[in-house]
Structure 1
């Protein structure tokens, strides 16, 4: 009886010990890597097996087998490789994405690989909480894509995932281990996702300020997308109940959208209304914006209006000098630029002004 009791206690102790959380299981390091494509967050959670002296004996062996195999455990008799160690390697997407050009909804997926001599199949399984690939079921596949792996010059000791070849709208996930790299490209419709978030957030606390509507409209302007929606948001910034305000920023934002829509007369009328509300830097930036839009005559009007409101200040002297120079009136520009040079407090501005003055004296526009 004592032996039975002792055996029971020993087994109970082992059972409890196995239920505890540990760090690296079987010397396989835990790891997680994340990246964002716009607002789309991608996270991969995995364990990192080591090469441990097995160079040349990883791929196509029992370590990382080719094809589908019966691993002798679990319910799967045709299991892919788990792309790591221990539990499922998982990949999560906060937004809908495309993988190798094919749609994949937001969610968390088990990540598996059918390895081959020259190419591999990457599997995204709707089941993400199994142990390894022992319970893999193809009926639970959300997506399969085929990719070409490639050789690396240097061996990677501990398996890792990295994000490479990044652009504003995409990134490539690269599984690297030993001397092999397995890539798959992920793309997100950054602008569509951003606009969807704007539309949702503007119905919550952030939408209780006119600044939020201006921000959303300006995003559309900067990316030249959904200009009708941008105009609606700009209107909300001015007129929304309890929120809208008629000020330089809101009127200027709406005017900029109208300019973009080639409704120039409406835009200019709105800016004429906005000018008296503008602060010195706001008016200066508007003048610079007009210069960039190749409208030097209107820019000069704005710069001189700003100078009249704020005479002989550094910013307004620079503006008047730029405005006259852009219109080819170089002799008139020089006194303003020289006055600004005396007021400049840093070397960058001093050097820029010296260059503009030198250009003006040669009859050249220094803008």
Structure 2
């Protein structure tokens, strides 16, 4: 009986120390290489990198602390390993949507990030489907999702290993690892238009789809970003009529007219705009007239500015509009005549200054558009 109790006591002691060891392993203590996360929005997509940041500490980094090529690290199952592109556990990178890296496609998801650093100012970026291993000790080439070859550059000394988005534009960004005097950059690009349109189609089936402004915004985005014009026209027609939230406005009719113009349906576009002129403000009509001048439709612009002057007689900026229309047609004398009237009813000094400058041009026979 005593032996049995002794065995039970020993087992209990073993379980206690096992539990204690596990507890100690989970303590939150400062790391030698602090952890960091950097992220960047590109379009509506996000790229995020989580990594640990070792310091140079006067060590020789490239070719020494980080050996060139693939190496046997002396631990784990990998016979040859790349660099883990940071310290401690996997450096990981997440793409919220399908992307292109260095011109090659990669699916949305989270990847282990590794790098083969080479002697000739070149490197290979590796995106591994395994994002949960410790460092590169268990690296398997068969788990590669993508490899991209890049050029490295020399930079001023960077003490802490840093990931930074060094260039960002509307659909792409350059992400760079910087450490010591070396920078390893690579380009990330998203098909922003199609990603946004897919998101729009999805949201239209949810609460945003019950608002007129959603359909207007969707049609406007498709119009201005190379979307399907037939789809954009259907969206704007939905905003204008047929639903409980639909309402024809000058703004959404302008979007419709712009889509029709892009489809080479000029007559339909102008007819749509003529339909909403009675509900347009003096400034909306003025803006429309200026658009027509910019599109080279000078006769139609003069017609619209004359309509504005008749509907909103004597108000600002009807004479300014007529002056622009006559100037576009090369009739500088008539332009000067209406500029003088515009000068008399300009609402403030800034407006008077602009009108006077254009009057000076008209008197010299110069265009004011």
Same fold (TM over 0.5): yes
Give the one of 351, 355, 361 matched to 2:353.
Answer: 351
Cα separation, partners in 2 of 1:25 and 1:345, compared to 1, 3 Å = farther
1:95 paired with 2:102, answer: no
Note the C-alpha offset of 1:322: 1.8
SS of structure 2 residue aligned to 1:195: helix
Note the C-alpha offset of 1:326: 1.9
1:20 paired with 2:27, answer: yes
1:148 paired with 2:151, answer: yes
1:46 paired with 2:51, answer: yes
> Which residue pairs with 1:117 in the alignment?
119
Contact 2:43/2:192 (<8 A) preserved: yes
Give the one of 345, 348, 363 matched to 1:361.
Answer: 363
Deviates more, 1:271-280 or 1:67-76: 67-76
5+ residue gaps, structure 1: none
Note the C-alpha offset of 1:238: 1.7
Contact 2:320/2:342 (<8 A) preserved: yes
Cα separation, partners in 2 of 1:298 and 1:6, compared to 1, 3 Å = same
1:173 paired with 2:172, answer: no
SS of structure 2 residue aligned to 1:314: coil
SS of structure 2 residue aligned to 1:159: strand
Based on CA coordinates, which of the two structures has the bigger radius of gyration?
2
Q: Please identify runs of 4+ aligned residues in structure 1 that moved more than 4 A.
A: 5-15, 342-348
> Which residue pairs with 1:286 in the alignment?
288
Cα separation, partners in 2 of 1:240 and 1:6, compared to 1, 3 Å = same
Give the one of 14, 33, 37 matched to 2:38.
Answer: 33
Note the C-alpha offset of 1:346: 5.4
Contact 1:45/1:89 (<8 A) preserved: yes
> Which residue pairs with 2:69 in the alignment?
67
> Which residue pairs with 1:222 in the alignment?
224
**Structure 1 Cα separation of the partners of residues 254 and 215 of structure 2:** 13
**Structure 1 Cα separation of the partners of residues 158 and 81 of structure 2:** 25
RMSD: 2.6
**Structure 2 Cα separation of the partners of residues 323 and 224 of structure 1:** 31
Contact 2:193/2:226 (<8 A) preserved: no
Give the one of 198, 202, 205 matched to 2:204.
Answer: 202
Contact 1:288/1:299 (<8 A) preserved: yes
SS of structure 1 residue aligned to 2:114: strand
Deviates more, 1:44-53 or 1:343-352: 343-352
> Which residue pairs with 1:239 in the alignment?
241
5+ residue gaps, structure 2: 1-5, 7-11
- Please list the CA deviations of residues 101-136 of structure 1 after superposition, one character each: whole Å capped at 9, or x if unmatched: 111011111101122112222111112122222222
SS of structure 1 residue aligned to 2:126: strand
Contact 1:93/1:106 (<8 A) preserved: yes
Contact 1:95/1:106 (<8 A) preserved: yes
TM-score, normalising length: structure 1:
0.89
- Please list the CA deviations of residues 268-319 of structure 1 after superposition, one character each: whole Å capped at 9, or x if unmatched: 1111112112122222221111111011221122222223222333233332
